[in-house]
Amino acid sequence: MTKPIIQLLKQIREEDMTDELGALTTIFTEFYYWITVVLMFLIHVGFCMYEVGASRYKHHQHTLMKNTMLIPLVTITWFLFGWWIYWAFPTGPGLAPSIMNESAALITDESAFSAKWYLPNSDLMAVNLGDHISGVFWAAFLLFAWTAASIVSGAVIERITTFAFGICAIAIGSVFWSIDAAWGWHFDGWMLKLLGYHDAYASGVIHAVAGGFALGILAVLGPRIGKFTSSGEPRNIGPRNPWLVAVGLFLIYTGFWGFYAACNIPIFDLGPEYGMEGVTYFTATNIYVTPTTLGGITMNFLMSLSGGLLTGYVIAKGDPFWTYSSGLAGIICASAGNDLYHPIQAMIIAMIGVVVAYKLHYWVERKFKIDDAVGAVAVHGYAGFAGLVICGFVLNGYPSSGYNVGAMWDGTTYAAINPLGMFIGAIVMFVVLGFIPGFIIAKILHGMGKLRIPREVEIAGLDYEIMEEARDDEKSVASATR
């Protein structure tokens, strides 16, 4: 099973900048990912606008700062250890041997895709004429990490401390998203081999895990003051600026285009990759090195968005907040298999995902008194979970990876996509790497007295002093005569 890996190395890592076609392929790939990173930045802009729109006036500026500061925190920790984790952990460790070195240990050897090259002191983690791709790949994965952290951010607004959120953002962005990507979003991941896990556009590895993590924090953090009546009935604390919410969600949709493109390898010769003698076949592939097309996934993106919007409008009786969120939930639900679905299948799956997310949101809110301020657990967590389960049925029997074209270390092949494996995969994402770590970290922060802002501050408003100063400034300027 070493032959395909050698080819992968040749095509991606051994850049030949003296050959025009080879150089063009490298520069195209570099530019392709660079564009996706710029587009994905809009996801974060959208999340910031959305959160501020959903928060109350007296908390606006702190809400914005909380989400904004995850950018540098996740970035520097992604540089220090997040990217290394992705390349080191595909084996578990200890769960399934790597197809590169047949060891189940952390992948830190001399092989082409070893984590060794992505230690923060590696000379590949900088401007390097021998490696054009790693930097933009690092950045694309980092933008995914921001998204995971930003999903959590919305759920906990108006009562978590910025300190606690910073720790949580690093945990989900630079640790747990990175582990889950290594396990289920890597050509060598153990979840592909043993479970037949398939999650092309991250229903689970971004959305279910972040939704589960947010739910874990919410279970400890508690609801905003006033969210529930004394008899336990939930009160609606609707968005204070629906226009900002609308624009924010449109921007998230826009950034999601970049996200989809970033999940692909744009041009790849699968002939030698699959060990087919004399066969040349260039195509786009997903992260698992199985073929798809940018055109096809674009159709599926739009049809699943449409399915989500249509269902959200009806189920929420025209409520704009839920209709926009349902568009997103629809895409998220279909994302696991959007590399292969028919567009109408993608649309129907999206519709199912929205019903699941909407119904579960209100059931969990009433039953467990969970105050998910923006519906993040529902839109990302429940829709993502449902998307993985549905994918197991609809894509049942498809290869989970481009590398189940031959025998692995023990003579077996990668497991094919199957319903049970995808269900277990969904549990791994939402519960094992999402809910449980979120709950434990929140418990520790709570125990330190660092999780929640003081009650008096929540009542007064996080921005009280900033607003007071602004008022005094305005008075002094207004009374000035020169």
Contact residues for another protein (CB under 8 A)?
A: 57-58, 73, 76-77, 79-80, 120-131, 161-163, 166-167, 450, 453-457, 459-461, 463-465, 467-468, 470-471, 474
Q: How far is the CB of 461 from another protein (least distance, A)?
A: 4
CA separation for the pair 134, 14 (Å, rounded): 12
Q: How far is the CB of 473 from another protein (least distance, A)?
A: 8
CA separation for the pair 69, 234 (Å, rounded): 31
Q: How far is the CB of 145 from another protein (least distance, A)?
A: 15
Q: How far is the CB of 459 from another protein (least distance, A)?
A: 5
Nearer to another protein, 94 or 454 (CB): 454
SS3 265: strand
Q: How far is the CB of 172 from another protein (least distance, A)?
A: 16
Residue 90: φ, ψ to 5°: -55, -25
Nearer to another protein, 81 or 256 (CB): 81
Nearer to another protein, 158 or 339 (CB): 158
Nearer to another protein, 136 or 389 (CB): 136
Nearer to another protein, 199 or 463 (CB): 463
Q: How far is the CB of 34 from another protein (least distance, A)?
A: 19
CA separation for the pair 42, 47 (Å, rounded): 8
* Residue recorded with tokens 């952290």: 149
SS3 444: helix
Helices (H), 398-463: 419-427, 436-447, 455-460
Q: What is the edge-to-edge ordering of all strands in the sheet holding 291-292?
A: 265-269, 282-285, 291-292
Q: Report the relative pairing of strands 282-285 and 291-292 from DSSP bridges.
A: antiparallel
Nearer to another protein, 102 or 469 (CB): 469
Exposure of 162 by Cβ count < 10 A (0-12 exposed, 13-18 middle, 19+ buried)?
A: middle
Q: How far is the CB of 470 from another protein (least distance, A)?
A: 5
Nearer to another protein, 17 or 24 (CB): 17
Are 258 and 40 contacting, i.e. CB atoms less than 8 angstroms apart? yes
Nearer to another protein, 102 or 468 (CB): 468
Q: How far is the CB of 62 from another protein (least distance, A)?
A: 9
Which tokens sit at 433? 């790497």
Exposure of 123 by Cβ count < 10 A (0-12 exposed, 13-18 middle, 19+ buried)?
A: exposed
Cα dihedral value 111, 115, 116, 121, nearest 10: 150
SS3 269: strand
Q: How far is the CB of 291 from another protein (least distance, A)?
A: 31
| DSSP strands (E only) in 5-52 | none
Which tokens sit at 422? 């995808």
Q: Respond yes or no on whether the N-terminal peptide bond of residue 93 is cis (omega within 30° of 0).
A: yes
Nearer to another protein, 24 or 459 (CB): 459
